[in-house]
Structure 1
Amino acid sequence: MTATTTTAVPERAARGAARGGLANMAGSALAGGAGVVVTWIVARALGPEQAGAFFAATAAFVLVGGLAKLGTNTGLVYWPARLRATGQDHLLGACLRTGLPPVMVFSLVLAVAMWLAAPWIAHLTAGESPRLIADHTTGLRVLAVFVPLQALTDVLLTVTRGYRSMRPTVLLDRILRSVLQLLAVTAAGVAALWATASLPVFAFAWAAPYLPVVVLAGLSARTAYRKGLVVAEISRTDRRRLRRDFWIFTAPRALAAVAQLALQRVDVLLVAALSGPAAAAIYAVAGRFVVLIQFANQGLSQSVQPRLAEALSTGDHAAARRLYQIATGWLVLVTWPICLLVIAFAPRYLRLFGDGYTAGVPVVSVLAAAMLVATGCGMVDMVLAMAGRTSANLGNVLIALAVTIGLDVLLIPRWGALGAAVGLAGAMLVNNLLPLAQVYRSTRLHPFGTGTLSAAALAIGCFGFVVLVPAAVVAAVPAYAAGAWLLRGPLMLGAFRRKT
């Protein structure tokens, strides 16, 4: 392969990732913004006690839905990409038939389990109030009905991403579902002006958008499948081998995905159980910006994922390294200013959620500092999985989960929401630095290219002073935009330009 060809491969992949990633991050920004508004409406309408129970219920819902997907949100991207890259397109249909039916069955089983366990979860996380426990139980059961729809929505959209199509994810999950959630929760909030606010009503409003979205996701997955359909005879041996290899790869990722979700959600449940639902509401509101940054990471990661899998499956580590570094530079460019701004303005924006929420300022500072490190490592967890190291991936997440639970149990009774923030920050560091070392040792890939270092220096130079003097944001924003333009070459911003 010539030097020109070697360079062209990652640059083409970067352009493709940029187009999909830009759309996905824009959709993620909308989804994150809608999520902040939904959090605000719930906090204002329900009050700290019921809001804390609501956030605990949605955390349980997301955990159960993550378990129901059985890791197929990675397997149904990795395997289609690998099959295409190795000239085995005729096995794509068998791959989908391997991954989808188990999710359908398991999600129904877990929905029933969540329905039956709702009273126990409510007693654990809703304090001593019989009325709150009753409402919390009903809210959990409302959400349990929608567990299969949540799991199927995510898996069907994963199928479209496996075919390199980001549009359904952006339009259906990021935009349509978020907008419908916002409208439905707003309607519930308006209704609460004339009647007593009800936790189950808000739970239904938040979950109902999964119904239309799952139908549209199914149609999109069917279209993507038919467009890439290659008709060929598949032997029973090939089908059996594919099924075995698919689940050998995916099974560790299934447990890792659940543990990863637990890292993001179990802290809310632990705060509710150990310090009460009011403390859980403060923690959920203060940590909401973390979800926004995770959306940005996920949006870019989902676009890079199939291209990185193709490069690694063919042994092209140079292309994979270049793509990883370019994508990390973009991620730092977007997320580091957000982290520094939320530290600077936390006392102001937390006050908007109601009296008492400014107690979450230290929570914001701890989590934002941890997110600077985590985003600086890029989508290292995904890189490790796309390199086929799903067992190592599982081990890392389990270690990180043990760290967060151990610190939470130790610190929440003493420090409340701040104790949970320290636990999550510790888990973030473990779950990024450990796979970073593993990825480098096994593949020599690392995220610290010219673009990453340039973006980090630019963000700190422009927004670091804003943390001390918030009014400096007036000068920091235009300076940052100008700096990004001057550094557009190292940052590979030209990849976002539409080719004529």
Structure 2
Amino acid sequence: MSEKSGTKAVARGGLANMIGSALAGGTGFAVTWIVARSLGPDQAGAFFASTAAFVLAGGLAKLGTQTGLVYWPSRLRATNRAELLGACLRTGLTPVIVTSLLLALGMWLAAPMIARATAHEAVTAIGTHTAALRVLALFMPLQALTDALLTATRGYRAMRPTVLYDRILRSALQLLLVAAAGVAALWTAGALPMFAFAWAAPYLPVTVLSAYALKRVYGASKPPGVTTRRAERRGVRREFWRFTGPRALASVAQLALQRVDVLLVAALGGLAPAAVYAVAGRFVVLIQFANQGISQSVQPRLAEALATGDRRTANHLYQTATGWLVLVTWPINLLVMQLAPIYLHIFGDGYVKGRNVVIILAGAMLVATGCGMVDMVLAMAGRTSWNLVNVLIALTVTIGLDVLLIPRLGALGAAIGLASAMVANNVLPLIQVGRVAGLHPFGRGTRAAALLSLTCFGALPLMTGTPGLALAVPAFLAGVWLLRGPLALDAFTRTRRTR
């Protein structure tokens, strides 16, 4: 795989993923706005706490297969062992189905306890909070299975199912159903379970379509008439879980790092501060979607390059993708920092108090995105156990600071904890990737994108005020055009001409 062909392929998949991620991020922002406007602060906080518990349970059910189901299909194809792909898929998917059903049952039974722990002083919210958790428990196996199935399709370099079914279809259905729930809430009491159902129901059709997509890509790549020995299948299972086992714990810890803060704010500070914190940090999810959109396109090709020892191509892919990520996300972070009061006022007057939360999280996201998809690179280099240690350190940092600061500072304390954890969770693997694999994200494109973003959306508004903000976008676009060579944007041009 040459550097140019690899970059072009990443551009093709990354562009589709970025468009889908932008749509998913926009619909997620709209869903948050509808929930914040339709429900009171306590009920909105209960909704965000319930969905956080739902995502945590689903992440546990996936058992870290998000990495293994990309790494191993890519590796098996790169090493001419495609006949073992079926055994690999069964090894990864079967435990996810069993574990998700068990965890869904556990979530159903534990719903009253979770509601009491997070409802805090809002005793009247416990009943509806419990009902919402049980509604989500019914759909949790579908969420885990959808992610696992779509991950497996990406192991075959098929990006379209993820974009069409998860980014576009699920997000659009969530927005439509949550909007309908918002309208119904004008006349219906006890709307929280209804919102939970509207948010989770789209996983049903998406799961069915994802299973069909995996069946198609697997059938198209299955070698005809090739049989495998039991010892070979057993070897694949052993190697798969030896690689994926540490990543299973790391993925749960990673999700906890992203979601446990909402639960801790609800438990230690109350549901209303939890709603403020969830709304203030909503833009972080948009940034994470952008990161996923690019990294999911890079991941299979990076795994193949590292599997064959082609570190030059791997480093080129890593640096190019990081440059694109910085180019897309740093302007958003810098704008959100400067326009935090306006951003929060969109959700209602009661959320403006989260201004400092926005500024702290946006600053941390500048560091995180500047390191690129470094945790994924470390995992594709085969260091999943190191990845686990890094995430556990970051999780310890955020929980420790949350417990210490939330009772005194509320949502701001949680923001400090999460920001510190994000910095640790990116700087540590950055050092490790450099030492072990000889890779780093600071290529020409990354430096150009960072300098351009800081100049247009940082220095220019600070020096000139409001007129600077008006000039920032055209200046940025002009800079992107002038720097299109270092930013490797010609890959997108070649992709369009090929089509």
> How would you bin the TM-score normalised by the shorter chain?
over 0.9
Q: Is 2:492 the counterpart of 1:496?
A: yes
CA gap 1:439/1:104 in 2 versus in 1, 3 angstroms: same
> What one-letter code is carried by the residue in structure 2 that aligns with 1:256?
A
Aligned to 1:372: 366
Secondary structure of the structure 2 residue equivalent to 1:419: helix
Aligned to 1:170: 163
Whole-angstrom distance in 1 between the partners of 2:403 and 2:154: 38
TM-aligned CA deviation for residue 355 of structure 1: 2.2
TM-aligned CA deviation for residue 31 of structure 1: 0.5
Alignment of 1:75-474 (within 5 A): 75-196=68-189, 198-231=191-224, 232-465=226-459, 468=462, 469-474=465-470
Q: Is 2:61 the counterpart of 1:68?
A: yes
**CA-to-partner distance for each residue in 1:155-202, whole Å, 9 max, x for gaps?**
110111011010000000000000000000000001112223511010
Contact 1:341/1:466 (CA < 8 Å) preserved in 2?
no
Whole-angstrom distance in 2 between the partners of 1:26 and 1:143: 28
Whole-angstrom distance in 2 between the partners of 1:206 and 1:471: 40
Whole-angstrom distance in 2 between the partners of 1:213 and 1:380: 29
Aligned-CA RMSD value:
1.0
Whole-angstrom distance in 1 between the partners of 2:102 and 2:461: 48
Q: Is 2:472 the counterpart of 1:476?
A: yes
Contact 2:64/2:248 (CA < 8 Å) preserved in 1?
yes
Aligned to 2:481: 485
**CA-to-partner distance for each residue in 1:342-363, whole Å, 9 max, x for gaps?**
1111101211211220111000
Whole-angstrom distance in 2 between the partners of 1:428 and 1:467: 27
> What one-letter code is carried by the residue in structure 1 that aligns with 2:202?
P
Contact 1:343/1:467 (CA < 8 Å) preserved in 2?
no
Whole-angstrom distance in 1 between the partners of 2:402 and 2:326: 28
**CA-to-partner distance for each residue in 1:99-148, whole Å, 9 max, x for gaps?**
11110000000000001111110000012333300000000000000010
> What one-letter code is carried by the residue in structure 1 that aligns with 2:255?
L
Contact 2:122/2:271 (CA < 8 Å) preserved in 1?
no
Contact 1:345/1:470 (CA < 8 Å) preserved in 2?
no
> What one-letter code is carried by the residue in structure 1 that aligns with 2:16?
A
Secondary structure of the structure 1 residue equivalent to 2:120: coil
> What one-letter code is carried by the residue in structure 1 that aligns with 2:378?
L
CA gap 1:470/1:144 in 2 versus in 1, 3 angstroms: farther
> What one-letter code is carried by the residue in structure 2 that aligns with 1:492?
A
Q: Is 2:29 the counterpart of 1:36?
A: yes
Secondary structure of the structure 1 residue equivalent to 2:459: helix
> What one-letter code is carried by the residue in structure 2 that aligns with 1:61?
F
> What one-letter code is carried by the residue in structure 1 that aligns with 2:35?
V
Contact 2:461/2:467 (CA < 8 Å) preserved in 1?
no
Contact 1:38/1:186 (CA < 8 Å) preserved in 2?
yes
Secondary structure of the structure 1 residue equivalent to 2:455: helix
How many residue pairs match? The answer is 493
Whole-angstrom distance in 1 between the partners of 2:388 and 2:466: 41
Whole-angstrom distance in 2 between the partners of 1:96 and 1:418: 43
CA gap 1:466/1:355 in 2 versus in 1, 3 angstroms: farther
Whole-angstrom distance in 1 between the partners of 2:169 and 2:190: 25
> What one-letter code is carried by the residue in structure 2 that aligns with 1:489?
G
Secondary structure of the structure 2 residue equivalent to 1:356: helix
**CA-to-partner distance for each residue in 1:391-448, whole Å, 9 max, x for gaps?**
0000000000000000000111111000000000000000000000000000110000
Q: Is 2:13 the counterpart of 1:20?
A: yes
Runs (5+) with no aligned partner, structure 2: none
Aligned to 1:5: none
**CA-to-partner distance for each residue in 1:298-356, whole Å, 9 max, x for gaps?**
11000000000000000111110111000000000000000001111110121121122
Whole-angstrom distance in 2 between the partners of 1:461 and 1:160: 40
Secondary structure of the structure 2 residue equivalent to 1:302: helix
> What one-letter code is carried by the residue in structure 1 that aligns with 2:51?
T
> What one-letter code is carried by the residue in structure 2 that aligns with 1:393?
N
Contact 2:122/2:270 (CA < 8 Å) preserved in 1?
no
Contact 1:177/1:210 (CA < 8 Å) preserved in 2?
yes
Whole-angstrom distance in 1 between the partners of 2:461 and 2:343: 14
**CA-to-partner distance for each residue in 1:349-379, whole Å, 9 max, x for gaps?**
2112112201110000000000000000000
Whole-angstrom distance in 1 between the partners of 2:294 and 2:186: 39
Whole-angstrom distance in 1 between the partners of 2:218 and 2:467: 52
Contact 2:128/2:190 (CA < 8 Å) preserved in 1?
no
Secondary structure of the structure 2 residue equivalent to 1:98: helix
Secondary structure of the structure 1 residue equivalent to 2:228: coil
> What one-letter code is carried by the residue in structure 2 that aligns with 1:380?
V
Contact 2:461/2:472 (CA < 8 Å) preserved in 1?
no
Aligned to 1:4: none
Whole-angstrom distance in 2 between the partners of 1:134 and 1:195: 16
> What one-letter code is carried by the residue in structure 2 that aligns with 1:390?
T
**CA-to-partner distance for each residue in 1:228-275, whole Å, 9 max, x for gaps?**
111311011111111000000001101100000001000000000000
TM-aligned CA deviation for residue 467 of structure 1: 5.4
Whole-angstrom distance in 1 between the partners of 2:467 and 2:144: 44
Contact 1:45/1:197 (CA < 8 Å) preserved in 2?
no
Contact 1:61/1:144 (CA < 8 Å) preserved in 2?
yes
Secondary structure of the structure 2 residue equivalent to 1:473: helix
Whole-angstrom distance in 1 between the partners of 2:48 and 2:402: 17
Contact 2:68/2:240 (CA < 8 Å) preserved in 1?
yes
TM-aligned CA deviation for residue 289 of structure 1: 0.2
TM-aligned CA deviation for residue 470 of structure 1: 4.1
Runs (5+) with no aligned partner, structure 1: 1-7
Whole-angstrom distance in 2 between the partners of 1:37 and 1:76: 32
Secondary structure of the structure 2 residue equivalent to 1:489: coil
Contact 1:138/1:200 (CA < 8 Å) preserved in 2?
yes
